Structure 1
């Protein structure tokens, strides 16, 4: 749930609001009743690339990936031409 708070509350209750944001709450900060900013938790970004060693660890098994076979699989699945 998003809660609207005046700028004054942000100034006066900074530590309390940071604890609430850390717990997952989101706030819209207002000035003279008009929304001016959003205070929310930072979203963790997912990695877009996982290396072979990391993939093996995540799979929970000793996976050996043959680079040549992997490349052939990619080439057959994806058109690499411009």
Structure 2
């Protein structure tokens, strides 16, 4: 037995805005048709947008170092290539 509230297919059709608002706010539902569960509406998991300084530091510990001169050379080469391609048209 599901702990989620059950809604009928007809309820979903007629109250879709209300139900979708509830899902957006974390509520889950089991959708039924003819008394039988046919699916679930569950909120998508979203990663938090804010990352604390401690989290960022922890995530950054294992990142490779960047050779700034090589990075700049790659950027300059890409820009030079794009500029030359525009004049070839």
TM-score bracket for this pair, using the shorter chain length: 0.5 to 0.7
Q: How many Å separate the matches in 2 of 1:30 and 1:39?
A: 11
Give the structure with higher Rg (CA). 2
Q: How many Å separate the matches in 2 of 1:6 and 1:66?
A: 52
Structure 1 segments of 4+ aligned residues over 2 angstroms from their partners:
none
Greater strand share, structure number: 1
Structure 1 vs Structure 2 CA RMSD:
3.1
User: What is the CA-CA distance between 1:44 and the residue it aligns to?
Assistant: 3.0
Q: Which runs of 5+ in 1 are unaligned?
A: 46-54, 68-82
2:22 aligns with 20
Q: Which runs of 5+ in 2 are unaligned?
A: 48-52, 66-89
TM-score normalised by L of structure 2: 0.51
Greater helix share, structure number: 2
| Partner of residue 38 from structure 1, selected from 37, 40, 45 | 40
